[in-house]
Amino acid sequence: MGLGGALDAALAGLRVTGASLELVSHNISNANTPGYTRKVLGQVEQAPGGNVAGVRLSDTTRVLDQLVNRQLQLESSGMGYADTISQYYTQIDAMFGQPGGAGALDTLMSNFTGALQELATSPESAIARENTLHNAQVLANTLNAMTSDIQALRTQTEQALNDAVGRVGEILQSLSDLNAEITTTTQAGQAPASLLDRQDQLVEELSRYIDIRVQPRERGAVGIYTNSGTLLLDGDPAVLSFDARGTITPEAAYSSDPAERGVGTIKLSSGSGYSIDLIADRAFRSGEIKALIDLRDQILPQAQAQLDAVADSLARALSAKEVGSSPATSGAQTGLSVDLAQLQDGDSITLTYTDGSSVEHTVTIVRVDEAGAPAIGNDYTANPDDTVIAISFAGGIAAAAADIDAALGASLTATSSGTVLTVLDDGATNTTDVTGLSATVTETSLSGGSVALAFFKDGGNPSIDYTARHGDVPQITGFAGRIQVNQALFADPQALVVYDAGIASGDPARPQAIYERLALADRSFGGATGVSGSVAFKGSLPEFINRVISFQGREAESAQRAFETQEVAYEQLSERRAAESGVDLDTEMAFLISLQTAYQANARVIATYREMTDMLMRI
């Protein structure tokens, strides 16, 4: 009370104004620092015992809208996801070539069928034969190159996952340290505004990688969980590890069984020694890490499956040969028999019979020699109405016939003699009738007497026959990377026309057959390729290729659109936050003026006090 109180109040005001000025200059100098929020100094009236005695400083607070901040973190993970997917899709899109360009897959297929037509018109022409082989080689090489591009992208994702998991670990560790610092400084009564800024920055960076939920803890610390509930940081940070593989091949796929897994997975080990496989747990729902996992395990393998289906079709359309049956009887039983000498692992036998109610049934028997191969269902073949049985011929045809007999049931009998399989009906009971029996085998020779030929082979050196062998890792997996034109054709291009001894060099039968099988015949492409949802696509090979290119183009476009949409949302929020917490030079300048005035006023008060005490002293 009194003059002394005025001096104290003015002094307090000077101090506070000085501190505010310091903060204003701090704000201005950090105007362009990323992640900096505008700070204001809190001022509280000093009023001990109800008497006004001046002003005192309270905390430095950040001007921040927590809601916008949280929203931004959410959108950040969406951005991370969309951005990564879009970037990789740009590369996938580029891989399929320019529309109408010379290297595009559909152009190469057209070139190949064009060369085949020329061959069919002039089978005797050496130029036409060379041209056909050349175009086939270019097509095979392009499929090889695209496979290697896709696998390179997968390897890139593997590396990126490694880096991302490493960075996430670092961030979690920094956040944990920061937690400790923040709680200490808060306890000591000093406002940790810049530490909180740093915390926000780290959390935002983390949210780009993983979609997280932030739980505020006491004294400014935070706990971090993924949106699916996995604990990342609460007190102690979780330890994340990633076992990256060096190179990724088409056969290397993700599996929750560690023995089968060919690619790395993210493991979380908590302090108590318990570790879980986060990918198997589906712990990630958005963010860059999820994007990389989706790319590595779904998107890129699907593109690979599409190319593999193209390669499989190229090889099998040309090498498939039908072996017909001949009638057979045994006592009262009648049926058909077929020679299985050329049946290889992956080939199949088709049996049709009518049962007691004259309903026709179709059974497809697939030769699967591998002991531990996964079971195959009725959707293994294009025909949705047939029953598919897998039989191993590893023990010889006799043993296989016994297995077939057991699988067919009581109304049909299957026996073998040498390499010939005979299926007979039930004889005297006369309820079933065997109506058809044929084997679809892979022609391995170039002049085997039929128009089928082994045009494409699996692998370069040495090359093996492609028979779509089923197994733990089916032969079709990654076949696009191994498909080659049969080298024997280069040595003897005549084999393109001469399919048997005595066939003339001008005989168009084989070239016409090759053209029809490749360009015109309808084939079925498995649901795994995804070009028509999850059902098989029926159409010719060129139509399938067009579908694949169209599919990938559309996906690339969608990814780009999704990214742009996400970017707009993110930028709008970012703008709002900047509007709220960014340093606006005009505001700071205006505040500076008012501080200056306040300082002058306080100084004036002190000067007036001095004058007044002087006056008193002069008495």
Which stretches of the chain bind another protein, using CB under 8 A?
31-32, 89-90, 93-94, 96-100, 106-107, 110-111, 113-114, 117-118, 120-125, 503-508, 512, 515, 520, 542, 546, 549-550, 552-554, 556-557, 560, 568, 571-572, 574-576, 578-580, 582-586, 589-590, 593
Diameter over CA atoms, the chain: 149
Q: Which residue lies nearer to another protein by CB, 93 or 281?
A: 93
CB of 100 to another protein, least distance (A): 5
Q: Which residue lies nearer to another protein by CB, 413 or 552?
A: 552
Q: Judge whether 24 and 598 are in contact, CB under 8 Å.
A: no
Q: Judge whether 292 and 87 are in contact, CB under 8 Å.
A: no
Q: Quickly list H helices, 96-236.
A: 105-121, 126-187, 193-209
Helix axes 541-581, 300-319, angle to 10 degrees: 180
Q: Which residue lies nearer to another protein by CB, 150 or 388?
A: 150
Q: Judge whether 295 and 157 are in contact, CB under 8 Å.
A: yes
Q: Which residue lies nearer to another protein by CB, 173 or 550?
A: 550
What are phi and psi for residue 223, nearest 5 degrees?
Answer: -115, 140
CA 91 to chain centre: 13
CB of 559 to another protein, least distance (A): 8
Q: What is the 3-state secondary structure (H, E, C) of 322-379?
A: EECEEEEEECCEEEEEEECCCCCCCCEEEEEEECCCCCEEEEEEEECCCCCCCCCCHH
Q: Which residues pair with 456 in a beta bridge?
A: 485
Q: Which of 235, 295, 270, 258 is closest to 89 using CA atoms?
A: 295
Q: Which residue lies nearer to another protein by CB, 29 or 572?
A: 572
CB of 495 to another protein, least distance (A): 16
DSSP structural state of residue 428: G
CB of 201 to another protein, least distance (A): 16
CA distances (Å), origin 446, targets 488, 496, 497:
8, 8, 10
Strands (E), 28-82: 39-46, 54-62
CA 71 to chain centre: 26
CB of 7 to another protein, least distance (A): 31
Q: Which residue lies nearer to another protein by CB, 339 or 567?
A: 567
Q: Judge whether 242 and 161 are in contact, CB under 8 Å.
A: yes
CB of 112 to another protein, least distance (A): 10
CA distance 399 to 396: 6
CB of 600 to another protein, least distance (A): 15
3-state class percentages of the chain: helix first, strand second, coil last, to nearest 5: 50, 20, 30
Q: Which residue lies nearer to another protein by CB, 209 or 563?
A: 563
CB of 518 to another protein, least distance (A): 13
CB of 288 to another protein, least distance (A): 21
Q: Which amino acid makes up residue 502?
A: G
Q: Which residue lies nearer to another protein by CB, 7 or 68?
A: 68
CA distance 143 to 303: 12
Q: Which of 601, 443, 424 is closest to 517 using CA atoms?
A: 443
CB of 111 to another protein, least distance (A): 8
Q: Judge whether 100 and 107 are in contact, CB under 8 Å.
A: yes
Q: Which residue lies nearer to another protein by CB, 117 or 137?
A: 117
Q: Which residue lies nearer to another protein by CB, 386 or 588?
A: 588
CB of 126 to another protein, least distance (A): 10
